[in-house]
Structure 1
Amino acid sequence: HSFLVNAYWSRGRPLDVVRRSVEHSLCFGLYHQQDQIGFGRVISDFSTFAYLADVYVLNQYRGRGLGRRLLTCITQHDQLQGLKRWLLVTADAHRFYEAYGFSSLTSPERFMEQLASQQ
């Protein structure tokens, strides 16, 4: 939780929201001894679609191939084979994800989003 509350994509996310999102996702963790040093989760129907979210490796462990190992485990997981589409959103890791077959949307005009109102 401490990493996610400071990550640009989830800044300030309350602990109860993190717990609920993890409970409803297929989660993957990276560990060094007893400490969690990386994480990723997938939201999916396990038939046609998956959304990759909250992927991180702590700064002090980056550059060691651990992110690649994590993404390989995620994308090769038995329950996630044969899907028609994977999606993710990233501000700064496009080249990293391209190595796993991700690309910019081919038809962005077909996609829509609904953002929570800022009250």
Structure 2
Amino acid sequence: MTWTKDDFTITTSKDLIDVPYVHRFLSRSYWAQEIPAEVVARSIEGSLCFSVFQQNNQVGFARVITDGATFAYLADVFIDEAFRGLGLSKWLMETIVAHPSLTGLRRFLLVTRDAHGLYEQFGFTPIAHPENFMSIHRPGLYSAGAGSNS
């Protein structure tokens, strides 16, 4: 699927994703610091991806892990710093929440440290009963030596 607005396009075509660009951004982000390129490539393969382009240059990305029926998890949302302030993140979120595979889901989750205001505009709220949720979280997984026994 493809959406166009002014000089920008959002597409779900995985063939158009600039994987090295996405990897560069994510490997410097607070949530995926030092993530290996092969992990980014695998994450793209297993997700519904949304790429933002200005002409042929990728300037943003998001991916959704979903069963397409009851659950989705929004991850790796970003707009390149040079293109922020143009309404692209809001348009990206509008596109994501309106996607036919993602409407009518019982639960749609995300984790953010600093973009609550953006996501609240699209119906995301803090978890009502966080005591019911559990996770395995390995924040240093991609850091050098994270798997060693020392």
- Is this a same-fold pair by TM over 0.5? yes
Matched, 1:23 2:45: yes
Correspondence 1:97-112 to 2 at 5 A: 97-112=119-134
Question: Counterparts of 1:6 and 1:90 in 2: how far apart (Å)?
Answer: 16
Residue among 29, 33, 40 paired with 2:55: 33
Question: Counterparts of 1:6 and 1:52 in 2: how far apart (Å)?
Answer: 19
Residue 118 of structure 2: aligned partner: 96
Which range moves more in the overlay, 108-117 or 97-106? 108-117
Question: Counterparts of 1:26 and 1:91 in 2: how far apart (Å)?
Answer: 22
The Cα shift of 1:34 comes to 1.1
Deviations 1:4-41 (A, max 9, x none): 11011001000000000000000001001111000000
- SS of the residue aligned with 2:90? helix
Letter of the 2:130 partner, please give it. Answer: P
Q: Deviating runs (4+, > 6 A) in structure 1?
A: none
TM-score (norm 1): 0.96
- Structure 2 stretches of 5 or more lacking a match? 1-22
Residue 8 of structure 2: aligned partner: none
Question: Counterparts of 1:60 and 1:2 in 2: how far apart (Å)?
Answer: 15
- SS of the residue aligned with 2:42? helix
The Cα shift of 1:81 comes to 1.3
- SS of the residue aligned with 1:67? helix
**Greater CA radius of gyration, 1 or 2?**
2
The Cα shift of 1:115 comes to 2.4
Residue 79 of structure 1: aligned partner: 101
- SS of the residue aligned with 1:20? helix
Deviations 1:51-101 (A, max 9, x none): 000000001100110001101111100111110110000000011100000
- SS of the residue aligned with 2:95? helix
Residue 70 of structure 2: aligned partner: 48
- SS of the residue aligned with 1:3? helix
